[in-house]
Structure 1
Amino acid sequence: MVGAGAAAFAILSAVSSPSVPAKTYVDGVDVGGLSRDEAITVVRDRIAKPAARPLEFEEDGQQIVVKPRQAGVWVNAEKTVDSLLAGRFQWIVDLLGTDRTNVEPVVIVDEEKMIRQIAVFERLLTTTPVESSLSVNGKSVDYSPGRQGKTVDVEELTNSIRSSVTEPRAKVDVPVIIEEPTVSVASAEAANAFALSAVSGPVKVAAGSAVATIPAAVIGDALSFGVVNGEYVPSLDATVLYEAVSEDLQGSEKPRNARFEVRKDGSIQIVPSRAGGGVNEAALAQAVMSVLSQEVTEGRKREVVVTEGQVPADFTTADAEALGIKEQLSSFTQKFLYAPYRVTNIGQAAEYVDGTVLMPGEVFSMNDTIRERTKKNGYTHGAIIGPGGIFVEALGGGVSAATTAVWTGAFFAGMERVFTRAHSVYIPRYIQGLEATVAWGNFDMQFRNDSPYPVYISTEMTDTSMTVEFWGTRTYDRIKAQFGPRTKVKKAKTVYRNSNFCNPQPGSPGFHINVDRVFYQGDEEVKRETIKTIYKASPKVICGKKPKKDKDKDETDEENPNESPAGNAPTGDTPEGSDDAPPPTDDGTFENVPAEEIDVG
């Protein structure tokens, strides 16, 4: 009975006493048997005060010190002890056992202060990913590496600050989330290495008994990189590669595209396409690509073998038949004086335009079709109109002759005008008010096929002319151009340039002119559109010092007598009016047009 009585006394003591149950520990600190006040003092001194010491966080060499109280985190000694006392009846069972109990201290988190502290981490550590860039031009590889970005893992950092206050002090890594650029750093580095290897030397190509070499610079011009699923993927322009070896690897016969011809009775016939023989462009590109990762060194060369085969035409007989072409819509020939740069640039533009198929509702863009005027795209330097109407040299000079030919053909084919701009100054070989030009990055020449039928555009070149033909199905019986008189005429002035870079040029007057496009069904006019054109006066440029006797004298030179005549009239549709307007008079009302750089013929 004595033993039972002692146990009962102990139980009653545990129930009635305000002390912490025996064998109770807070974070390893013994507080068992202590009164509330005693336990609070112990928890405050042994746990809460050490927990208030600064925390050190580190990320990528950057250290951030956090004062727990300022971060809104601290150990509450009172609540910790009260939580032990509130559960003292549970200790009746524990009192009879031998196990000790260890509990965590109560950690208070002030959410607003914690948010402000996390914001400090974000401000100091957050970085955005930097995208890499990779391009190849000839043998030169231009590579700018990307960089990973990072953001703070807010949830993990909050938990880390909360849990670290009761831990022994040591540097804590800031939890971050790594953000990759669109192309991962590893992929970009690998692509750069591939590009450097690709242009490290030539590739020898064998096809049958023929052998050719593709220079490293050509490989670089043909090589480009696209992004697929976060990785750089190389590709080769098969045409660029083929052009470098075509003469050496040319088969017995070149492929021939299908084309349309007008019979004597006015009906249309398709001249069938013909496949050629030789090296297929796609097969050539695939073979070359397979060895580009092999760097060329003194002891290593790159060679590929390509099987000769049939080379299909770009525009086949089946393609032509599928269009359902019924007739020729228009034909226009733009003439120009022979110059090597004109033959090159106009011819290159004509080649890009030839074979264009314009479906119903589709918009034709001259810039998109003939591409940027660069050496890589086949262009050379020629004359353009520079600021103030003075001719200068730039890549692509002359393509306005091609632009004019295409637009005039589109005009008489009934295509809907989207945007056209005439030259800023009048050039006599063009039909006034019915010509167009382009300037890469500034303005375009565009028209829409607003008919319900497909339209096919073909071109032919000589050294002094470009012919454009539109084929399709007529929606109007005839389309004519009617020219109004020149108005608001402004005489050309004479300027002198005492410079080694001076190019003499004749002047031309400035004037306004309207051209009406008239649509007919039978003999009845059904629609009329007016195109208004303003030409500014182009100065006559004389190279050398200005003579004293000409100090106050201006000269007018309306046309360049050396220029060829304006373009031929479209087949079957003679423009009404005349390009040979009466001598203009200066009415003093010319509206000035800002100078601009545009391609000219």
Structure 2
Amino acid sequence: MVHQQAAPVKKGRSKLVLLGVGVFVLFGVAYGAGLLMNHSEVPKGTTVLGVDIGGGSKEEAVTKLEAALGKRARTPLRLSVEGKEEKLAPDKAGLTLDSQETVREAAGSDYNPVSVIGSLFGGARPADPVIPVDEEKLGVALTDLAGVSGSANDGTIKFEPNKAVAVPGKSGKSLDVNRSMISVRDAYRAQVQTGDPAVVELPVAATEPTITKAELDRAMKEFAEPAMSGLVTIKAGPKQIDFGPARSLPQILSMKPVDGKLVPVYDRAAIDKLLDGVFDGIMITKGDGKKYQVSATDVAQAMQGALLGKTPAERTVAINLNGEG
């Protein structure tokens, strides 16, 4: 029987095995060292938008984040609508950088070997900022902005000395609120990230007046023309005061669009000024049973019926001081 000798193990293969074992051991040592050195609440190397918040407690991380990004997060946004620049405060628009929640999500142990070993050599562990958006608040802010920046005008009625004048509306452009919400949200995030409050051009849309010619005609016929047809007299106790179309009523009256209709508006400040204390000391009993000084609001309420009267008697109204009716 012929005995074959076993082939000798190649030295090269042994070296490879030893090298592999060595690398594994080094990896384990590095991983263990990384875990030992990185036992803080916020792991070492954690960054938010380039700001290093790692290696300490959550409170320390929040302080670092606020110091670096707080001013950016509170800086008003620069918005442009049809070339007209407006500023919008983030807090009024429901935009904020939530530093507490950002740190809370970034905190906690990270057992990813790449992150753990990378922290030994200054490796970064990026975390996303938490930037909540109050959609309702942002929508309201942009709707208000649309009201002052639009080029469309609704039809209305102006009250001038001895006459009411119908003013037709005109078409134009106004802020597209829904699309603008996306633009503003993205712009705020970019501002927090870069610190650059760049001007953001907001989208606009064509708009038409909500008050039609038919509604203008109705408001003129049913309210404006009767209101300006003569004096109205308001009485309270032994005192009375006249409001006329030449001077007083143009200061008091206006109309505003509400759901496609023009409704009367009474300027209580103007009424109070015109009263000039004529009803001072005259008290009215309200629904709660208490007595109050007759006010511009009481006069405005009494005036509503008087303005539609056709005769002097119909245009004279006494305020009920007993709280009845």
TM-score range, shorter chain: 0.3 to 0.5
Normalised to the residue count of structure 2, the TM-score between the two structures is 0.42
By percentage of residues, which structure has more helix?
2
- Tell me which structure has the larger Cα radius of gyration: 1
Q: Report the TM-score when normalising by structure 1.
A: 0.26
